[in-house]
């Protein structure tokens, strides 16, 4: 897990976007520990309070780029894979903004935070 974590922070994916993805996925999964951690990390990277606070309603916000929106949509689909899947149409929209390697990196970032959420929740971690 730690080796994968090291890899995910070296990708071409913008670090702020990575944190927004981690925040959104942690919201969906109900992981307060990770949610708190990634809000703090996003602030350290200079992410705005507006964008942090509104990430759960990204679809209705004009201050996220289309590339960020499609990445957040992908995050929601991968997080809820059993019911949402990743439709071909979504894959194609993601590929309009991200090349094949970046697509894979997005999926790895999304899966990494999903794994951390599950570990954290299973171990009874709480936000402090």
Cα dist from 79 to 44, 45, 63, 93, whole Å: 25, 24, 23, 18
Dump pLDDT digits (tens) for 69-120: 999 999 999 999 999 999 999 999 999 999 999 999 999 999 999 999 999 9
Return the ∠ at Cα 80 (arms to 76 and 83), rounded to 5°: 125
φ and ψ of 61, to 5 deg:
-115, 135
pLDDT of residue 21: 98
pLDDT the model gives residue 71: 98
Tell me the domain boundaries of the chain: 2-122
Question: Phi and psi (nearest 5°) for 127?
Answer: -75, 135
Task: Kindly state the average pLDDT of the residues 18-25.
Answer: 98
Superfamily of domain 2-122, CATH level 4: AhpD-like (1.20.1290.10)
User: What distance in Å separates the CA atoms of residue 93 and residue 35, rounded to the nearest whole number?
Assistant: 27
Average confidence (pLDDT) over 4-18:
97
| Share above pLDDT 90 across residues of the chain, in percent, rounded to a whole number | 99
Please give the average per-residue pLDDT across 47-69, as a whole number: 98
CA atoms within 13 A on the CB side of 83: 3
Region at 46 (left for phi over 0; alpha for psi -120 to 50; beta for the rest): left
Residue 68, pLDDT score = 98
d(CA 60, CA 50): 13
């Amino acid at each position: 897990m730690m080796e994968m974590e090291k890899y995910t922070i070296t990708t071409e994916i913008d670090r702020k976007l990575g944190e927004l993805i981690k925040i959104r996925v942690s919201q969906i999964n109900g992981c307060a520990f990770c949610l708190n951690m990634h809000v703090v990390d996003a602030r350290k990277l200079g992410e705005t309070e507006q964008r942090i606070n509104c990430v759960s309603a990204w679809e209705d916000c004009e201050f996220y780029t289309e590339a960020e929106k499609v990445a957040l949509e992908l995050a929601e689909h991968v997080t809820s894979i059993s019911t949402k899947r990743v439709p071909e149409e979504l894959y194609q929209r993601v590929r309009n903004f991200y090349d094949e390697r970046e697509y894979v990196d997005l999926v790895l970032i999304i899966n990494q935070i999903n794994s951390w959420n599950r570990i954290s929740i299973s171990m009874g971690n709480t936000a402090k």
